[in-house]
Structure 1
């Protein structure tokens, strides 16, 4: 008579769990690094969005473009939100990266500042 096999043996289950744990050990550190890189890229893209919104604001408000000392104008996220250039969620995200509503955007992003012809 032939023996009918039902299910897996204990050793087969242990081997499968071992393989799964090895795969997880390889993947988890990689996933964390990928998430960090994605967060950094997302923050850089958001900074670019803020500078672009500020440039649009200055295009539509040329009287605010240059201060009397020749520096970039003082543009805040509060002004951009009031003008409809950014949303409330973007203001909240700016706060998360350290830009308060009364802060000058150009003080935070000197390296992203685009060339605005005066």
Structure 2
């Protein structure tokens, strides 16, 4: 092998150019712009589904309470005091402003 061939092999660079890095950063930025708004929507959707499920639990417990006590009007405090709702369910229901519906 000639000496000039060995020197030529050493001059090859291995790495990324500034343009390649800029393109990668641009693609990552686009992906972030697409993903972040969807995360917020999914969080709101999950919160709504959770509140709906909690509302169903509260209403079911209120119906059970009415069947056992023959009371017409039931409050969240009645359900909590009688053990139909635990402390966490009570606090979440108050926070979500869930109301007990009157049985028809």
Q: What range is the shorter-chain TM-score in?
A: 0.7 to 0.9
Mapped partners of 1:60, 1:51: distance in 2: 14
The answer to whether residue 84 in structure 2 is matched with residue 76 in structure 1 is no
Structure having the higher helix fraction is: 2
How far apart are 1:31 and its partner, in Å?
A: 1.8
How far apart are 1:8 and its partner, in Å?
A: 2.1
Aligned to 2:94: 95
How far apart are 1:91 and its partner, in Å?
A: 1.1
Mapped partners of 2:95, 2:41: distance in 1: 21
Mapped partners of 2:12, 2:45: distance in 1: 53
What is the aligned residue count?
A: 96
Q: Over the residues paired in the alignment, what is the CA RMSD in angstroms?
A: 2.0
How far apart are 1:6 and its partner, in Å?
A: 4.1
How far apart are 1:16 and its partner, in Å?
A: 0.8
How far apart are 1:79 and its partner, in Å?
A: 1.3
Q: Which runs of no fewer than 5 residues in structure 2 stay unpaired?
A: 1-7
How far apart are 1:89 and its partner, in Å?
A: 0.9
The answer to whether residue 42 in structure 2 is matched with residue 34 in structure 1 is yes
The TM-score normalised by the length of structure 2 is 0.78
Mapped partners of 2:46, 2:15: distance in 1: 43
Aligned to 1:60: 68
How far apart are 1:98 and its partner, in Å?
A: 2.2
After TM superposition, the structure 1 stretch with the greater mean CA deviation from structure 2, 37-46 or 12-21, is 37-46
The TM-score normalised by the length of structure 1 is 0.70
